[in-house]
A and B are shown apart, each in its own frame.
Chain A
């Protein structure tokens, strides 16, 4: 048993296809998680990330179906996800409806809407072709996984440093962090806490839209209503796993991406594992990771606490 575990582990580590699969999932998670990281630094927690992904994927599919242009599809995807983000932000950070409740309801609503509209409109898409980056893609093992991809994949490379810069190097980011750590102080210092929070959710919506577009155009190639299938929650948790640092979040995405890909990689390598148990592995690993790390990391102090002036 242990022996076969290690041989499987070794096979996965040395399989180029395994890296491709893992990075496909990791990048998909990464799009959502990066934006969600920004949003969580402002003290919000968006369960609706799942819905944003799905809206992004659906919007992109429709955009692709209508225009045939991947750029337009990306804009449509980001726009649709932004719409979900706007509802989430306005409901829970202008009105003060509970953000979990709003997020949950939005997930259900988006799922219903996407599957209803998909069955009515039936968007047709094709898979985005890859752009090979010379030299870099020749690196053994990981070269093609990292540098022989759809252009949508490459968006993650600038996105992550951009979000880091946004949060740590701009005034907007400073205000955002203060809203997540101590909204009362931020308020007294003249910062519109809820506005910053809403804006940060918009960022999450936009990046989740990119993730949804990537998923439907580059990873799967066809829209189905189960396309996200709970993986939005994993992206959300990658942020928590990463201890609310961007570095940790990226690490979390890579780890969870790898775990998610086992379901594809292991059978491809000839290992027979029950699909159901393997499918639950990322969730189990996530829970295990949280129970190990949750006690050690420090979340933004006002995470998931609504701000109303004078409360608290």
Chain B
């Protein structure tokens, strides 16, 4: 290894080499599950569950304490969060609208994580994706659905290209992708900011905006993603697309040769290389695909209507990229779980809109979210360590 370092799994189980090899030959392998072993496993499972509950409660209690200490009313905050996300009329639709890009971003991170890559630049990839979409949306003529399609494709391309920079630097110049994807977030924001200052890029024509406002041209009515209404809750149909994508990604990773190779690469790069999986090819593919998903999320946000009212403005991604990454982490890199987690995180976000009435600053939801994620990192890490100690013990005697 010349430079950089091996990026580990972004999942907590970075150290997931449960190497229990070399069990002394005089043992009966741990294979035939005796009742004793099974009861032990059940015990482990219930312990894990308890640990999760304890950690989540601790995070919530800590958040409540912070609110109370700063003179807020934690009960009111909790109610406001519920009202804003689920109980208020039509709020579920809004929450679904927010959950959609979160899920799409999370799916992308799951893909790059499978390949053992640490892409933490979704926020930037998303911004570039939405900028590409805004550019195309403002200029392309033709039938509405066609424009929507092309602008979404543009967002995919934008995100993929932005992640592609990190991929190229990793596989050509050995620069760790953790750092490049991270740095590219800031650069993306500044590039988009620049684009929103000049008319030949993104800035809307002078009419219909105040003088120094940085805003892109609003998407025309027929170039927006259609919205549906179910039981009084309105959301863009892209939500359904996102669910479908979750199913597809889940299937591709679990069943297809491509997913198989990606997993191989993620777990053991040398074995993969020997077996014909080139890290450069599959790795950059996964990284770019991950960026493509983030970019797509940006396109969906722009054309979906829940963010920025069909226009691009500075700060447009509003941390959907970061949060989407956290969704993937909390979902432990499983597509099905990501659907649920994305919804929960979207609840926190839409709920925060109702906090003004309680007099508590809405940034508290960032605190709750951060504490929750930290809390959710603890149980798997702790269980891993325990399992590891056991495995170690049984392999202690290798010579």
A residues near B (Cβ < 8 Å) are 45, 47, 87, 91, 95-102, 104-106, 108-113, 115-117, 119-121, 230, 233, 236-237, 240, 274, 276-277, 279-280, 283-284, 286-287, 290-292, 294-299, 301, 303-306, 308-312
Contact = CB atoms under 8 A, between A and B. Distances in A.
A309 B389 CA distance: 8
Contacts of B374: 87, 91, 102, 105-106, 109
B15 A311 contact: yes
Interface in B166-213: 169, 173-176, 178-180, 182-187, 190-191, 193-194, 197
Given A47-B182, A91-B381, A304-B5, A113 B367 contact: yes
A286 B181 CA distance: 12
Interface centre among A101, A115, A230, A310 (most CB of B within 10 A): A101
B144 interface: no
B120 interface: yes
A294 B367 contact: no
Contact of A304 (B6, B377, B384): B6
Contacts of A299: 3-5
Contacts of A119: 361, 363
Contacts of B370: 105-106, 108-110, 112-113
Given A294-B173, A295-B2, A309-B392, A105 B8 contact: no
9 contacts: A91-B378, A96-B14, A105-B377, A274-B197, A277-B191, A283-B190, A286-B183, A294-B173, A296-B2
B6 A276 contact: no
Interface stretch (B265-273, B292-300, B321-329): B321-329
B373 interface: yes
Nearest to A306: B15
Contact of A294 (B15, B175, B385): B175
A283 B181 CA distance: 11
Interface string B334-367: 0000000000000000000000000001011111
Contact of B6 (A87, A286, A305): A305
A298 B5 contact: no
B11 interface: yes
Contact of A283 (B183, B325, B395): B183
A310 B174 CA distance: 28
A230 to B, nearest CB: 5
B194 A112 contact: no
A122 to B, nearest CB: 11
Interface in B58-94: 66, 70-71
Contacts, number: 195
Q: Sort chain B's interface into a size bin.
A: 35 or more
A105 B6 CA distance: 21
Interface of B: 1-15, 17, 19, 66, 70-71, 118, 120, 169, 173-176, 178-180, 182-187, 190-191, 193-194, 197, 319, 322, 325-326, 329, 361, 363-367, 369-371, 373-374, 377-378, 380-382, 384-385, 388, 391-392, 395-396
Contacts of A298: 2-3
Contact of A116 (B175, B182, B367): B367
Contacts of A111: 366
A99 B9 CA distance: 10
A64 B388 CA distance: 46
Contacts of B169: 287, 290-291
A98 B178 contact: no
A295 B174 contact: yes
B186 A112 contact: no
A136 to B, nearest CB: 36
Interface centre among B11, B13, B364 (most CB of A within 10 A): B364
Given A97-B378, A104-B120, A311-B17, A304 B10 contact: no
Contacts of A292: 173
A230 B186 CA distance: 7
Contacts of B367: 109, 112-113, 116
Contacts of A236: 179
A303 B5 contact: yes
Contact of A95 (B1, B180, B381): B381
Nearest to B322: A108
A148 B71 CA distance: 42
Contacts of B5: 45, 299, 303-305
A284 B187 contact: yes
Contacts of B1: 301
Closest 9 CB pairs of A and B: A112-B366, A109-B370, A280-B190, A276-B194, A95-B381, A116-B363, A291-B173, A97-B381, A98-B14
Given A105-B326, A112-B364, A283-B187, A100 B10 contact: yes
B269 to A, nearest CB: 14
